[in-house]
């Protein structure tokens, strides 16, 4: 799994250069959700992902993120539930 770890690129999310090793483990259970944006064309990243992660993990990593309004609603709902406890 560490065959590409020494490759380096600029990370737009972090604003600095990072190694592939960070990208493949940044999400905790799986790779960074931006791994395709950063590494496609530089490494066989799709093949790497398919060979090293389950379909379930990849589905979770690449699932659409909730929009800003939905995140605000979710936070408000969580605060409301916690204040009632």
Written as tens digits, the pLDDT of the chain (85 aa) is: 889 999 999 998 899 999 999 999 986 778 999 999 999 999 999 999 999 999 999 999 999 888 899 989 999 999 988 888 6
Write the CA distances from 70 to 20, 23, 49, integer angstroms.
Answer: 31, 27, 29
Q: What's residue 27's pLDDT?
A: 66
End-to-end Cα separation, the chain, in angstroms: 45
Listed as own residue / partner, the contacts of 63-71 with beta carbons closer than 8 Å and 24 or more positions apart are 65/33
Q: Which tokens hold the place of 43?
A: 């490494």
Residue ranges per structural domain of the chain: 8-84
């Amino acid at each position: 799994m560490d065959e590409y770890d020494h490759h380096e690129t600029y990370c737009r999310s972090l604003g600095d250069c990072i190694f592939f090793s960070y990208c493949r483990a940044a999400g905790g259970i799986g790779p960074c959700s931006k791994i395709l944006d950063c590494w496609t064309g530089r490494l066989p990243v799709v093949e790497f992902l398919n060979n090293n992660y389950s379909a379930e993990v990849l589905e979770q990593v690449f699932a659409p993120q909730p929009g800003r309004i939905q995140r605000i609603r979710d936070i408000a709902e969580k605060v409301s539930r916690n204040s009632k406890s």
